[in-house]
Structure 1
């Protein structure tokens, strides 16, 4: 390496002094109110020796070299003036342009560094750009240039800094001219480190006489072969747990040897092979240009069914279905260094079957070829599972018929496509199904529902749809501009099909069907309206005894609206305190005195006045308000009764819903405690409906109430199915004869016989009897003659508000006194 001659110039220390001098001179020349100092104030006058280092640049749209000192001319290798800076040598042009551009942009001096290569030597220059204004209008930049620090040889720097060992070898030949050894004539620092020898100990050594890996027979043979061949050779060896790659090129008898440590590369390759070959996920590498398979792992061979040899003779498109060739090819054109599937793809296996996959890839170099490493995820089973889940989301799990959600979607679609034509909705409810389900169990009931679904599927075809909405409720969409007659005929057909006998394990079973029909647009234009109105028509069909179909009528909607209004009014009424208790006297026949009062709930509506309990009590039971109302009635009745004479009782009716709430006993205890009323003065009236479900639990509650000392009365006796058996189940304190038997005592002998029988039964069981609905003296005389103990009815008094009870008691007392 030869030392480069230095260009004439000042030592580095002096140069560093020049830049502050020029910067101070520029600032001193800048006058207040001016953006730039004048050119002549900065560049003319006392520059002296610095003038050789100045280049004058003119910026008049294009940056030009206007003048240059001798030092600058040598640096540029150019003595011409008034030429564009762009025509100068690129390294100098770049340095001047960037410095001048920054100075012009900021309006301030700008200092930069420039690295220029001359004859393989790298020199560093400082460039200071001083922007100025001129009297001719153009902006002038004075650029000061001077070399900084020592030079260095570029090739030596690269040669010395590389991690690869670079060794120059001279060939040694024997007397016959045959090469037999090589001598180290030069090497870089990394050679000593890689060959593990002291610095300088290799130089001028014959490698055959040394102990380094270069002396091994394998390496010696490789180097001598390079000398004989005169072309580049490569060899990979393993030495002391390292992998080394040797590259040798001979120029006559001089060999250039490069040794690279590829241990990390080999380990990465081994890791890749481990992850690739043993990966359970199908993987392959394909050529980025030809699309040929370059390598496949065992999982791909096993999953796709092609042998490895067959795979490696194939191209990518051979595993694509033909209808996806274009889309696959377009997707490959768009991939970069890494990609993942933007969609699901179909691939062909060796047996012709298709699988659905996601693919993930990364660009890799493989055996010196540009390729892509691809991993494949088979989602065929997942997609099947998703399809099954989607099917399940829209179909009934038991019958596989469309479910309610699917039904609503199809109905919405049918209405949207109807264009004003009729679409019919048939709501179907199975008659007597509950009896079979309760008697034979749910498995038999489920099998029966499946057979019903099969019959519906046979009957409902084309654009029409049959669905199971839940339980024993089904529905049908008639979408083909159906007329009322056609809808009626379809409903009759379905009823006939459903009621035909079913054979379940050799046992014949018979059920029926009731159907409600709604037709658009007259009965509704939305799925919600049609389904609601068909449901109301079904309710009418069921109320007529079942086994029939019924069309929706507007009156049904009015009734339903009245029902909805009542529900809203009921909830508000309870919150607003619109309920009140009236009391009807119970009169002892023997003493002709009031023995008690039955509390009766009344609703005083602010707009509609008094509303009959027959209207609002069933609604309160349906919406769950009856439990809260029942508790209020108990508390209110007890609180009022405590004001009456101690021998006067109060009777309160209980709803089956209060028994289901399971806190009835606590409610009674609380009402008695808060009011201070003796339990013996409280009678609770029940109907036999509480025994229709959870009989044992309800009997247990009755026994708990009786243990408190509270009386229990059987209300409306004789109107149910099993009244006598209930008398055996529980020791009632009173039997109340229903008003329907009392009303016709004089006109119907059978009513008299029933009343006589109930009264006699009461005497036999030592249970007092009370007759309801007594309105005439004849009825009273008849009941007295039959031994009835107590009566109530309009003959004595209608139900009265609590404020009138005192007067009522007083009036009865006076009547009794007169009678005495």
Structure 2
């Protein structure tokens, strides 16, 4: 399979077991939550609008007009899948594989009246890619039915072009199982075939490709054949199928790969008709054939095809016995099988035969007892399946190796690690697992593009392959993540020395098309049995050690320590609690007043997210916000904050603003503008009453794209404020990049105003800068009247802090507004 090199969260605990998010259950829960009592389907607006976030790129909207489905809207990922960015087109205009997958999933969802999860198999550049397709049926307020379909690719891919469909006289084709609404295989679709298959099925290749067997038209479409194919899919096994018709006889060799079937077609019509014209069949048949003596096993006669195929002259053949074409290590097996032969037989398995040049071929043999020139003998026909076996070997290789680097893949690595642990445990020997992650690889992709990133990964794989030899094994787990198993009772010192040498080898520069590329490597090490006795535990602990190595700056190796496990468990608990908290509504907003110094009045409130844990009480935002950002929950949580804050602000006087903090992660979702529009529309709040606060970290990545988003928000009428101004190294340059409405002076400068002249100078400079640029300045963390006097003297416009009020629940905002005046005067 050809894997991409897109960067995962490098070295984070638990990534060997599950993904951080599972999109399908999230969408299924969203559909179920939107279902109202008494309604057969939820409304389109409740399911497909709002908090889809990054999932919107994977959504295609289908409309049902009469009995036909059409495409209404599609996200960017879907458009790449289609290779078509058009909207409002019939489903039939799409590529057949995409149209089939979407049509089947949507029809099943509409038939069941519930979300339907299906698998789609699509061929792209010779790769059979597997996709999850989740169809969500919804009602439309304009009438009719809409189906939102989520599409995402699985990891597994099979490159069949170089293997199954190599040049061969036999017919080879691939079928994809099509499942019905109950999830059972109901039909099959031809997704690829070679010219040999088209010839054997007596139809043009183009007419067979993408055709369903259920539509009829060729020998594979017989009901008994389809039934046997369904049985093979159900058992995930292989087998042979015989097709006998009046004028045709085919033998099918079938191998199952999940919902994919690989078929090899052999024409055995001539063999079946051997009784009709033995001599014509024997002498002129292109299939190698011979007759051997039943008692002596000596060859009595051979046809021209056997002479040509095996390379022995006819005279030599007629002086030989069967065993002389058998490899010596199979003499006993061949002889035993020969003793069990009846009047008619087929080999039931493939055998190895020796040709005159000493090379081996794999064959199937078919025979029957005959009287030949007055002697008791056996007529044998031979089918050479050497190319088929090579193709199967290539497929088996692909199933265990990474398509980009040709290193072992994750599944094969885990199998080898389990075997090494099983062998080491009785003797009490150590097995070492090293998790390797490239440093700065994302920069290579961002700077030079993914093609250069792919070539770099190939070069890294070559260096790893040259260093990891013998019984040791190196694998690519995905992206820029690799793993190594050292099974030979390695000591900690040996593992450490090996890791240091590997880091040095991987850190030497790479020359790729004249581009000098520099990356480093970090390594985490776990040793059995102390760091784990099972494959899963050992890999998880090595991964935690890698996470520590990355946290320590990279370019180093670290051994697993038990404290890492405790920290990882604490982190996992936090992630689980956060998801539960969001689902159960444990979050709430508190509001801290923003005070206009000149007018001596509250001008607005900053909304601050709070988490009231049922057991731990209030959890500090400093603890849970970074975790929510890491796991992606901050996008959905941020949209909730926007809606809640805007709705609450509608209860305040019309001149009071509300400020909402934005995370840099929300910008990466690319749906921030839509979320703001939705929050304003839902609440009815004027855009001029909404103030969005960002930090300079928004500018540290994808500056042009983030600037474009900020300008779109400004066009809505929303105010933009830079938070924690002065704490970054390039804040002044950001004021040139974007015309902010407000800059907030960080509390670290306000704290020591009365004691430190440098703090006074900084506050004075920022206030002066704000006046010059016509930007409001707000000071945070005001706790004393001395600080307030200094800020007033330096021309600061707004203040907030405990001097006026801590952040309060929404229920106390009215009291703050009504009682502020006298307290503010007294404080002043």
1:136-186: CA deviation from partner (whole Å, max 9, x where unpaired): xxxxxxxxxxxxxxxxxxxxxxxxxxxxxxxxxxxxxxxxxxxxxxxxxxx
8 Å contact kept, 2:400–2:411: yes
1:468-512: CA deviation from partner (whole Å, max 9, x where unpaired): 322222222233333333333332232233333445456654432
Q: How many Å apart are 1:268 and its aligned residue?
A: 7.4
Separation in structure 2 between the aligned mates of residue 343 and residue 779 of structure 1, nearest angstrom: 90
Q: Which one of 711, 722, 733 corresponds to residue 719 of structure 2?
A: 711
Aligned with 2:772: secondary structure? helix
Which residue number in structure 1 is paired with residue 364 of structure 2?
Answer: 358
Which residue number in structure 1 is paired with residue 28 of structure 2?
Answer: none
Gap change, CA 1:426 and 1:326, over 3 Å in 2: closer
Q: How many Å apart are 1:399 and its aligned residue?
A: 3.4
Separation in structure 1 between the aligned mates of residue 647 and residue 512 of structure 2, nearest angstrom: 59
Q: Which one of 392, 414, 418 corresponds to residue 424 of structure 2?
A: 418
Separation in structure 1 between the aligned mates of residue 736 and residue 282 of structure 2, nearest angstrom: 84
Separation in structure 2 between the aligned mates of residue 366 and residue 712 of structure 1, nearest angstrom: 98
Task: Please identify the structure whose Cα radius of gyration is greater.
Answer: 1
Q: Does 1:511 align with 2:519?
A: yes
TM-score (norm. length: structure 1): 0.63
Q: How many Å apart are 1:704 and its aligned residue?
A: 3.4
Q: Does 1:406 align with 2:412?
A: yes
Which residue number in structure 2 is paired with residue 523 of structure 1?
Answer: 531
Separation in structure 2 between the aligned mates of residue 376 and residue 816 of structure 1, nearest angstrom: 101
Separation in structure 2 between the aligned mates of residue 512 and residue 750 of structure 1, nearest angstrom: 41
Aligned with 1:388: secondary structure? helix
Where in structure 2 are the equivalents of 1:63-78 lying within 5 Å? none
Q: Which one of 417, 433, 438 corresponds to residue 430 of structure 1?
A: 438
Q: How many Å apart are 1:632 and its aligned residue?
A: 1.8
Where in structure 2 are the equivalents of 1:501-650 lying within 5 Å? 501-504=509-512, 508-650=516-658
Aligned with 1:759: secondary structure? helix
Which residue number in structure 1 is paired with residue 327 of structure 2?
Answer: 321
Aligned with 2:571: secondary structure? helix
Where relative contact order (Cα < 8 A, 6+ residues apart) is larger, the structure is: 2
Which residue number in structure 2 is paired with residue 477 of structure 1?
Answer: 485
Which residue number in structure 2 is paired with residue 311 of structure 1?
Answer: 317
Q: How many Å apart are 1:749 and its aligned residue?
A: 5.4
After TM superposition, the structure 1 stretch with the greater mean CA deviation from structure 2, 285-294 or 601-610, is 285-294
1:351-370: CA deviation from partner (whole Å, max 9, x where unpaired): 22111212122233444443
After TM superposition, the structure 1 stretch with the greater mean CA deviation from structure 2, 270-279 or 556-565, is 270-279
Gap change, CA 1:435 and 1:702, over 3 Å in 2: closer
Gap change, CA 1:738 and 1:818, over 3 Å in 2: closer
Separation in structure 1 between the aligned mates of residue 485 and residue 383 of structure 2, nearest angstrom: 42
Q: Which one of 461, 464, 485 corresponds to residue 453 of structure 1?
A: 461
8 Å contact kept, 2:274–2:281: no
Q: How many Å apart are 1:819 and its aligned residue?
A: 8.4
Q: How many Å apart are 1:722 and its aligned residue?
A: 4.7
Q: How many Å apart are 1:609 and its aligned residue?
A: 0.5
Q: Does 1:736 align with 2:744?
A: yes
Separation in structure 1 between the aligned mates of residue 827 and residue 513 of structure 2, nearest angstrom: 74
Q: Give the CA RMSD over aligned residues.
A: 2.8
Q: How many Å apart are 1:443 and its aligned residue?
A: 4.2
8 Å contact kept, 2:402–2:408: yes
Which residue number in structure 2 is paired with residue 371 of structure 1?
Answer: 377
Q: Which one of 650, 674, 680 corresponds to residue 672 of structure 1?
A: 680
Gap change, CA 1:343 and 1:515, over 3 Å in 2: same
Separation in structure 2 between the aligned mates of residue 760 and residue 444 of structure 1, nearest angstrom: 48
Separation in structure 2 between the aligned mates of residue 300 and residue 748 of structure 1, nearest angstrom: 101
Separation in structure 1 between the aligned mates of residue 762 and residue 416 of structure 2, nearest angstrom: 58
1:75-124: CA deviation from partner (whole Å, max 9, x where unpaired): xxxxxxxxxxxxxxxxxxxxxxxxxxxxxxxxxxxxxxxxxxxxxxxxxx
Separation in structure 2 between the aligned mates of residue 379 and residue 441 of structure 1, nearest angstrom: 43
Gap change, CA 1:366 and 1:387, over 3 Å in 2: same
1:753-807: CA deviation from partner (whole Å, max 9, x where unpaired): 5444433333232221222223333433333333322222222221111121122
Aligned with 2:408: secondary structure? coil
Q: How many Å apart are 1:414 and its aligned residue?
A: 2.0
Which residue number in structure 1 is paired with residue 214 of structure 2?
Answer: none
Separation in structure 1 between the aligned mates of residue 300 and residue 436 of structure 2, nearest angstrom: 65
Q: Does 1:334 align with 2:374?
A: no
Which residue number in structure 2 is paired with residue 237 of structure 1?
Answer: none
Which residue number in structure 1 is paired with residue 349 of structure 2?
Answer: 343
Separation in structure 2 between the aligned mates of residue 269 and residue 575 of structure 1, nearest angstrom: 74
Separation in structure 2 between the aligned mates of residue 432 and residue 749 of structure 1, nearest angstrom: 41
Q: Which one of 754, 762, 766 corresponds to residue 758 of structure 1?
A: 766
Which residue number in structure 2 is paired with residue 383 of structure 1?
Answer: 389
Separation in structure 1 between the aligned mates of residue 323 and residue 586 of structure 2, nearest angstrom: 81
Q: Which one of 275, 283, 287 corresponds to residue 281 of structure 1?
A: 287
Separation in structure 1 between the aligned mates of residue 773 and residue 712 of structure 2, nearest angstrom: 21
Q: Does 1:292 align with 2:298?
A: yes
Gap change, CA 1:639 and 1:786, over 3 Å in 2: same
Unpaired runs of at least 5, structure 2: 1-272
Separation in structure 1 between the aligned mates of residue 534 and residue 275 of structure 2, nearest angstrom: 66
Aligned with 2:611: secondary structure? strand
Separation in structure 1 between the aligned mates of residue 532 and residue 400 of structure 2, nearest angstrom: 24
8 Å contact kept, 2:785–2:827: no
Gap change, CA 1:301 and 1:779, over 3 Å in 2: farther
Q: How many Å apart are 1:381 and its aligned residue?
A: 2.3
Which residue number in structure 2 is paired with residue 489 of structure 1?
Answer: 497
Which residue number in structure 1 is paired with residue 12 of structure 2?
Answer: none
8 Å contact kept, 2:600–2:825: no
1:179-220: CA deviation from partner (whole Å, max 9, x where unpaired): xxxxxxxxxxxxxxxxxxxxxxxxxxxxxxxxxxxxxxxxxx
Separation in structure 2 between the aligned mates of residue 733 and residue 713 of structure 1, nearest angstrom: 6
Q: How many Å apart are 1:395 and its aligned residue?
A: 2.9
Gap change, CA 1:748 and 1:318, over 3 Å in 2: farther
1:498-547: CA deviation from partner (whole Å, max 9, x where unpaired): 33344545665443222222222222111111111111111111111112
Q: How many Å apart are 1:600 and its aligned residue?
A: 0.6
8 Å contact kept, 2:435–2:543: yes
How many residues matched? 554
Aligned with 2:345: secondary structure? strand
1:536-590: CA deviation from partner (whole Å, max 9, x where unpaired): 1111111111122222221211111111111221122122221111011111122
Separation in structure 1 between the aligned mates of residue 746 and residue 633 of structure 2, nearest angstrom: 26
8 Å contact kept, 2:804–2:824: no
Q: How many Å apart are 1:685 and its aligned residue?
A: 1.8
8 Å contact kept, 2:594–2:798: yes
Separation in structure 1 between the aligned mates of residue 283 and residue 735 of structure 2, nearest angstrom: 85
Which residue number in structure 2 is paired with residue 242 of structure 1?
Answer: none
Separation in structure 1 between the aligned mates of residue 370 and residue 709 of structure 2, nearest angstrom: 81
Gap change, CA 1:428 and 1:411, over 3 Å in 2: same
Separation in structure 2 between the aligned mates of residue 754 and residue 368 of structure 1, nearest angstrom: 115
Gap change, CA 1:753 and 1:279, over 3 Å in 2: farther
Q: Does 1:500 align with 2:508?
A: yes
Where in structure 2 are the equivalents of 1:42-57 lying within 5 Å? none
Separation in structure 2 between the aligned mates of residue 509 and residue 693 of structure 1, nearest angstrom: 21
Gap change, CA 1:315 and 1:613, over 3 Å in 2: same
8 Å contact kept, 2:544–2:564: yes
Separation in structure 2 between the aligned mates of residue 615 and residue 349 of structure 1, nearest angstrom: 73
Q: How many Å apart are 1:714 and its aligned residue?
A: 2.3
